Amino acid sequence: MLTEDQVRNIFFASTPRVGAVLAVDVDYQQFAEKVQRAAAYSYAKAALDAAVSECRTMNGNVADQLAVWAKLELRKLDAYVKD
């Protein structure tokens, strides 16, 4: 995860693009944390989906159990993302 200093440096190094939607009264640190959580969820889901798919080529029963476990783990991460 990025530190607060890294987020601050990225934020202040950014300049508006043409046609960009600019927000007022946004806590950029909180926004960055939420983006990081959403990205972590997305990466974890892709990795688990790939693992289940690869496992399925070797053993369908193990892949089914892995899929159940992955779904439970993603549900935990999803709850963390929505905080």
Q: What is the pLDDT of residues 62-75, one digit of tens each?
A: 999 999 999 999 98
Q: What is the pLDDT of residues 38-65, one digit of tens each?
A: 899 999 999 999 999 999 999 999 999 9
Do the beta carbons of residue 42 and residue 68 sit within 8 Å? no
Percent of the chain's residues with pLDDT above 70: 95
Q: Does the predicted TM-score (pTM) go above 0.95?
A: no
Cβ neighbourhood burial of 54 (10 Å; 0-12, 13-18, 19+)? exposed
